Amino acid sequence: MTTTPGSSGAAQSSDTDVMAAMNRFYAAEAAYVAAGGSAAGADFTAVAACLDPDVVLYQAPGLPFTGTGEWRGHRGIQTFQDLFAETWQSMDVVQARVVADTSTVVMLLQVRFRARATGGTIETRIVQVNEIANGRIAEFRPYYWDPAAIVEVCAAS
């Protein structure tokens, strides 16, 4: 942990700490999605351990897994992850670039998804802005490059 000069001495996360939080989350998320979510008996505990109790995910409109567009708390994120797991059979990060400071991690991702319903694949870009508090993720804001292509690959014909 590092302390910001001129601060009251309160500890803040370092760049390394926020990346460790994100890496733990992405590993837990990938395992949960690959296991098929709670409908398939997957355990959410490892994902929840990465999240602030008041975590919020703001999802872009129009995607197969948007739902309400706003997912709150562990229960909300689990509901989202279950919908995400229903949508995707797998997700592989092909390339990742990161910009981070002591509380924000911006992920520039090239991701390959395989849709459960169709077996179709898509490789797309996502920019995700994440806020970290006390070593846990407090907020997610993903931005998908081509939402229409995601909808198309997920649509059963």
pLDDT 10s digits, 50-67: 999 999 999 988 898 887
For position 9, what pLDDT does the model report? 36
Q: What is the pLDDT of residue 7?
A: 34
The answer to whether residue 6 scores a pLDDT higher than 50 is no
Number of domain units in the chain: 1
Name the one residue in this structure whose structure tokens are 């508090």: 133
pLDDT at 85: 86
Q: What is the CATH number of the domain that holds 122?
A: 3.10.450.50
Domain range spanning residue 101?
2-154
| Residue from 131, 123, 128 nearest 153 by CA | 123
**Residue range 87-113: mean pLDDT, rounded:** 92
Average pLDDT across the chain, whole number: 87
Segment 27-40 mean pLDDT: 87
In contact, 24 and 17? CB cutoff 8 Å: no
pLDDT value, residue 90: 86
